[in-house]
């Protein structure tokens, strides 16, 4: 199987991003999971989709040339293909709900909780440090300074509010996505 075949299995063009690969895998995994799809070839299709996902994620962005491709395919077949198939068979035998709650499936999420919370925490710290820095500068001016640096304070305050707003929207979207995910 070639790289383009793996992209075709997921229904993607070869220039797809990691986020697109993850999204397509989640969609196809739900479509072909034997717990949901009762067709006789559902398990084989599920295993094929999982193998394609594993290969594309493992080799994403490596800019594989034709000569290097053969070596990577051999390495893939030797070490990872069987492991990928075993994992897919295990998840195909389990219920879709157990599969959806597995670490493997959760790793395909575009927004993860640690990243969203970290960005939100950073935005709060930037906002607080902007205000605290201005108060400190007003109370302890530098020698020769005529007044507090209002322009830089306003600029930093606007930037921190933008960062805070964007991170808050991401946090809100993450919470709503989790509610949808947990509610199904």
Per-residue pLDDT tens digits for 45-63: 998 998 888 888 877 776 6
Give the whole-angstrom CA distance, residue 127 versus residue 160. Answer: 5
Whether pLDDT at 91 is above 80: yes
* 32 exposure class (CB count in 10 Å sphere: 0-12, 13-18, 19+): buried
CA count, 13 A, side-chain hemisphere, 87: 18
Q: Write down the CATH number for the domain with range 3-106.
A: 1.10.287.110
Per-residue pLDDT tens digits for 19-45: 899 999 989 988 998 888 888 888 889
In the DSSP assignment, the letter for residue 184 is -
Percent with pLDDT over 70 in the chain: 84
pLDDT value of position 105: 78
pLDDT value of position 6: 85
pLDDT value of position 181: 58
- Mean pLDDT for the chain? 81
183 versus 68: which is more confidently predicted? Answer: 68
pLDDT value of position 62: 66
DSSP result, 38-83: -STTHHHHHHHHHHHHHHHHHTTT----HHHHHHHHHHIIIIIIHH
Q: Would you place residue 69 in the very low, low, confident or very high pLDDT band (cuts 50, 70, 90)?
A: low
166 versus 85: which is more confidently predicted? Answer: 166
């Amino acid at each position: 199987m070639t790289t383009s075949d793996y992209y075709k299995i997921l229904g993607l063009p070869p220039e797809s991003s990691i986020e697109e690969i993850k999204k397509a895998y989640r969609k196809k995994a739900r479509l072909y999971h034997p717990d949901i799809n009762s067709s006789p070839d559902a398990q084989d299709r599920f295993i094929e989709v999982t193998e394609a996902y594993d290969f594309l994620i493992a080799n994403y962005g490596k800019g594989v040339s034709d000569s290097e491709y053969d070596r990577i395919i051999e390495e893939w077949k030797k070490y990872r293909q069987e492991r990928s198939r075993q994992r897919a068979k295990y998840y195909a035998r389990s219920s879709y709900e157990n599969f959806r709650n597995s670490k493997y499936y959760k790793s395909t999420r575009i927004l993860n909780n640690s990243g969203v919370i970290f960005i939100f925490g950073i935005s709060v710290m930037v906002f607080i440090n902007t205000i605290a820095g201005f108060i400190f500068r007003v109370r302890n001016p530098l020698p020769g300074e005529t007044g507090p640096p209002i322009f830089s304070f306003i600029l930093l305050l606007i930037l921190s509010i933008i960062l805070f707003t964007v991170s808050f929207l991401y946090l809100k979207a993450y919470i709503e996505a989790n509610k949808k995910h947990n509610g199904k």
